[in-house]
Chains A and B, each alone.
Chain A
Amino acid sequence: MELLNTIPWMLIASSVAKTLFLIFLVVLPIVSYTVYAERRVSALIQDRLGPNRTGFPISLFGFKKDLQLFLGGLGQPVADAVKFLLKEEFTPAHVNKFYFWLAPVLAMVPALSTLAVLPFGNYLFGQKMVVADVNVGILYVFAIASIGVYGIVLAGWSSNSKYPFLGGIRASSQMISYELSLGLSAVPVLMIIGNLNLSDAIQYQIDNGWLLLPFTDGKLTLREFLLWIPVLISFIVFTISMFAETNRLPFDLPESETELVAGYHTEYSAMKFALFFLGEYAAMIAGSSIIVVLFLGGWHVPLLPINTLESSMTPGGIALGFLHITAFFAKVIGILIFFIWVRWTLPRFRFDQLMKLGWLYLFEIALVNIFITAGIIALVK
């Protein structure tokens, strides 16, 4: 009995509730509608229309017409999901079955796990809107995110087929290469903030203005202005590395369809393929979230009051809490749309160009940037 009493039931319950809220009400809908946005935006950029037909099939329930909201085609992600669920679950005879089945899971789980430490809102219902407010947050993110490569490598290897194999090799070298510049480019930010806890990073930005837009607190000191230069460099390097880490164009060499059919997931179909799909987009969301937390002030909206633990139970505070969550994901969606925009603008790199960029430029720039930051911090008070 005593053992039972020592278990923090309240903490577990709130964590589970937050996880469920985050994954099923926020992340998965965002993922599916990011896919929709990807198709619509790409179409619009290319002077096409994109999926604009699929509504919600309420005609099945006796209504005269299907429900078409706003743009039309909003039922497409639902239809896609249903399609993935209903398709034949096909496992080729020549694959290594265990790893073949394990790979999609390994692609999906790390991407979702990173979200655990991301503070996606302020206090709400007396709870801090972060699943696990750990003090090594950013390290946790990098650690878990690098597990994601296993899913791809295993998929490529276990498929026992040349295209997935090449895709897997490309993925592992690409992700390892860019993790360096990704990590190093985050260091200046952490040096400025002086803390690894992501909630504290947001708190710092509330107090001193967003790192990328240092005037958001209403004032712009010389130190802030000087630090803005390395922060900008950091932001650019971090964003580019994030593109590479999430296998987005112009760095989508692991699955470049013109060369490798579909890369590491060539042999996958139905829900197993859907898991890769989900994992890829969940990783995009996680990456965008980190950018938002580190550079764009997280859930903070300038000029809006900040909830405290006590005020978060009042009706006004609840509204404010939801507003902050919305602000956070609005910023994330903004970054996601930027992802999409870039994807349909830039052509794919050649693999040697990719490696050269990672090792010869971004890595050095990130490294030098640390010293610049350190210099500024040390010299300018």
Chain B
Amino acid sequence: MSTEVPLLNVQIDGVWMQFPKGTKVIEACSQAGKFIPRYCYHPKLSIPGNCRMCLIEMGMPKMTPDRKPVLGPDGRPEIGWIPRPQISCAQDVAEGMGIRTDSPLVKECRQGVMEFLLINHPLDCPICDQAGECRLQEFSVEYGNSHSRFLERKVKKPKNVELGPRVTLDAERCVLCSRCIRFMKEVAKDDVLGFVDRGGFSTIACHPEKTLESNYSLNTVDICPVGALTSTDFRFKMRVWFLKETKSIDVNDGLGCNILIGSRENHIYRITPRENNDVNGNWIPDSHRLNFKYIQSEERILAPTVDQKPAAWTEATKAAVAKLKAAGKLAMIVSSKLTNEELYLAKRLATALNITLHDTLPRFETPDGILIPSDRNPNTSGARLLGAFTKEPGAHLKEIVEGVRKGTIQGVLSLGEDLLDCGFAHEDLLKLKALVVTSILPNASTKAAHVVLSGAAWAEKRGSMVNIHGRLQRLNKAVEPAGESRDDWEILRDLLEATGTVAALHSIEDVFRSMSQDVPAFAGLNLGKIGDLGLQLLPKQETATVTA
């Protein structure tokens, strides 16, 4: 990895710069601050060079007959310009190369390409979901004409085609960049898409008897530079320019894909992947990106309840602690879906309530070989660091269930888990003297609970999690908690204070500060230092056992 990559001298628009060998010209220009328009080029995919949008003027050093570059008066090589334009995506930089990104020739070429691309374009931006983040719109502002010279009738192509259960195709808008075809082939390893027909009638289609049903199919919508592929789920829901994009992470598995939550007026409309080459690249599984609807479900628990009756927060926390203290021996089930801050407070709460028996619910399934790991809990590593379980996750679950069945354990505090998932039977719950549950949705446990504390969903709170590779990442708040619900750390803080401990924690930053003082792994960190792309907290190999 650490072999020295030689730097090459390249002249971009008259300025000499150095780029490592192997850099694509299009990337070199981007790094030099000259953005080259492109449709088919994608840094994570192979390069077909078929859109012709990234044309540039290129030249190589003039050579003397003895193959030495001719030096100009400034001591730099003189460049012999190639008289025709080149595509910058399929070209690596070379020593002494010259590049012109905004010469008249380049502009004229791009204008020509734009005019060709727009010949059959339906111009239905008002109903197109891509409008606002559409490359055709953006580049036609820069290189397009205000009118069309095309007098013939436009080619009609299939519209509103269901390529798969989650992706809708509008072939008229397609610019045939083949990004989706390459993605399915190279990343999703499910070669279902291809071109059919010829010339102006060429369209994208699924191979016969196949549909686009891969769990990564929606990534084709993200990489589609135009509105040809649209998400059936997000279709016509909201124009993208209204969406507030909150940087956060996905909580459906232990990887913690980086995402953008698109929300408007406290309503989440879509989730898109955010580039993080240390975690998920540019991709995210469909199952994860579409799994946000439950947050705005009608079922949400909107206020805390005591004995199944709505109560004020102060009463509910007092009642919870009073009932737990009166119950005798206690056990605590903590979800590995909680953030580090919440797990830390849960641990402190367990100490305050003399709970020695606590565990998390493990969720291990088969990995899909692309992004989804076997661990489907987002913060198992954090739970391990913060001592939410001893030894292995779920090792003590059986002991707790047995204890409840025998009657030795009479109170259970469940933070974010449904006890039925943890091996309890419904009758076991009825035996308990005190069952305190935090949850966002009603389940068997909340229906049997003595106190239900309505928490915030992952898109409604801030916090941090540690993924399976030991990377500390940040959750951010996109929408307000539903109804009277509160951030879980606030609930835990209030429970902690109700036990008589003075917590003096007034913000999530306070919790993190306290955690960084108590837990060595977090020493010297704060939420700000984590950054948008996360921070490697543990060495990668050490956490390999988590996935095992």
Direct contact of A and B (CB under 8 A): no
